[in-house]
Each structure stands twice: as C-alpha cells, then as structure tokens.
Amino acid sequence: MNWIILIIAGLFEVGFTTCLKLSNNFSNIKWSAAFFVCITLSFVLLNKATQTLPMGTAYAVWTGIGAVGTVIIGIAYFNEPATFWRIFFICTLIGSIAGLKFFASH
C-alpha cells in the first residue's frame, strides 16, 4: 500500500511543478492555490510512505516520478524538445526507478 501512496505523492510532485509553471510567478491565483495544494499533498504522502519504506529509496522514487512526469508534461504541453538523448536519459531514469522498486528490501 505504501508504494501506491508513494506513486501518488510523485504524481502530486508533477502537479506542483506544472502548477508552478502555470502560476506565472505566482501571479495567477488559481494555479498558485493549486500549487500549494499539490505540494502539501505530495509531502504529506511522501512522509506517510517513508514510515515503512526505506527513506533513501522512497525519496529517489518520488523525485524520479516527479522528474519523469515533469519532462513528459513539458514535452506534451509546453512544447519542450523531445530529442533522442533527452528521451534516452528519461528511459534510463524510469529503469532506475523500477530497479529501486524491484530490489527494495520491503
């Protein structure tokens, strides 16, 4: 169950980075409020997950989900480049996240 909580926390990390971009330097109240909701939920869920998962593994997976998700959002919605090397290294990051989950001691 805590792996699911950790994945949801990572998705909220993607949410808060996306909202940060859309908040236009916190000048858009709607996106600024969404940023604070997402960041709060992300950290609360990360904290919950680390109560039973190894802290280092949980943090690495959380930041990995956030990084991969944020890059995907950037490519899909903000017209960021999708170069071969960018996609290659995102795939290696996904492999690393899967490896941490697969070889975790819990």
18 CB burial (10 A radius; 0-12, 13-18, 19+): buried
pLDDT tens series, the chain, 106 aa: 999 999 999 999 999 999 999 999 999 999 999 999 999 999 999 999 999 999 999 999 999 999 999 999 999 999 999 999 999 999 999 998 888 888 876 5
pLDDT at 73: 97
pLDDT at 9: 98
pLDDT at 105: 60
What does the DSSP 8-state code read for residue 1? -
pTM of the model: 0.88
d(CA 46, CA 44): 6
Helix (H, G, I), strand (E, B) or coil at 53: coil
